[in-house]
């Protein structure tokens, strides 16, 4: 019995670790204390039953969660994973295949380019390193961060444009700036960026140039390394 418990425990821990490593943002799973099953929950509009044929074609199977309920129209965004008949060495490969299928669906349901949406962004090297960026389908974008990030001047919300070439995105945005003491306009900042989007994450670089009110560059060009994660609303609490 002890060997059976250890074997199932090892496979279950491997399953959870694989989910944490490979599944895309927006999908959640439970971490049971024992057994051979894990429940996966996707976004509200995710349909596990509709996705099953594509998953089987990719070499991985599961049971859609709605079949466990009297009302089979409910809980269609859930599925049950099992390690019971799966060898430990196959679990990681199976979750990678499932992750690829889920990522394809997520991407297809979004607008024309994967950068479209809201992103939480970390900018290493910037005066303030925590930002929010929103990319719109029309090619415009907005950037925001707490204006207290710079001790000498405050800046407006950044507004700009972007263009894409495959998974690569480049563009820039404009911020107006004011002196914190005099509260007078002192110029603007123009920030350029280049990103590479990979599913629900991106990495890239940015550079900023400051200008006085006459449009003359001031100071040295600043640079930052960007890391972004797509913002996904948390699941609604159970009622």
- CATH topology for 117-230 is Lipocalin (2.40.128)
Would you state the structure tokens that stand for residue 171, as one six-digit string?
Answer: 């563009």
For residue 46, pLDDT beyond 80: yes
pLDDT at 66: 92
Q: Can you read off the two tokens belonging to residue 50? A: 């509709």
Q: What is the pLDDT of residues 180-198, one digit of tens each?
A: 788 888 899 999 999 999 9
Which of 210, 121, 115 shows the shortest CA–CA distance to 162?
115
Q: Give the global pTM.
A: 0.52
Residue 110 has pLDDT above 60, yes or no: no
Residue 207: beta bridge partners?
Answer: 192, 223
**pLDDT the model gives residue 149:** 59
Q: What is the pLDDT of residue 238?
A: 65
pLDDT band at 98 (very low <50, low <70, confident <90, very high): very high
CATH class given for the domain over 2-109 = alpha beta
User: Is residue 108 scored above 60 in pLDDT?
Assistant: no
For the chain, domain boundaries? 2-109, 117-230
DSSP lists the bridge partners of residue 63 as 80
């Amino acid at each position: 019995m002890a060997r059976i418990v250890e074997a199932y425990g090892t496979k279950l821990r491997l399953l959870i670790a694989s989910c944490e490593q490979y599944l895309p943002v927006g999908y959640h799973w439970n971490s049971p204390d024992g057994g051979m099953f894990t429940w996966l929950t996707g976004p509200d509009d995710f349909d596990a039953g509709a996705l099953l044929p594509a998953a089987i074609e990719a070499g991985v199977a599961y049971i859609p969660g709605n079949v466990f309920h009297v009302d089979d129209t409910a809980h269609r965004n859930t599925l049950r994973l099992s390690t019971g008949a799966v060898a430990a060495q196959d679990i990681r490969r199976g979750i990678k295949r499932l992750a690829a299928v889920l990522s394809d669906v997520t991407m297809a349901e979004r607008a024309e380019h994967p950068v479209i949406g809201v992103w939480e962004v970390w900018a290493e090297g910037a005066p303030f390193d925590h930002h929010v960026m929103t990319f719109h389908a029309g090619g415009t974008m907005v950037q925001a961060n707490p204006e207290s990030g710079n001790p000498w001047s405050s800046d407006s919300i950044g507004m700009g444009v972007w263009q894409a070439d495959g998974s690569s995105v480049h563009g820039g945005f404009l911020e107006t700036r004011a002196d914190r003491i005099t509260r007078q306009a002192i110029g603007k900042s123009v920030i350029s960026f280049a990103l590479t989007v990979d599913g629900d994450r991106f990495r890239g670089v940015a550079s900023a140039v400051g200008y006085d009110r006459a449009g003359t560059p001031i100071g040295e060009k600043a640079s930052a390394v960007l890391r972004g994660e797509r913002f996904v609303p948390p699941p609604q609490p159970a009622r």
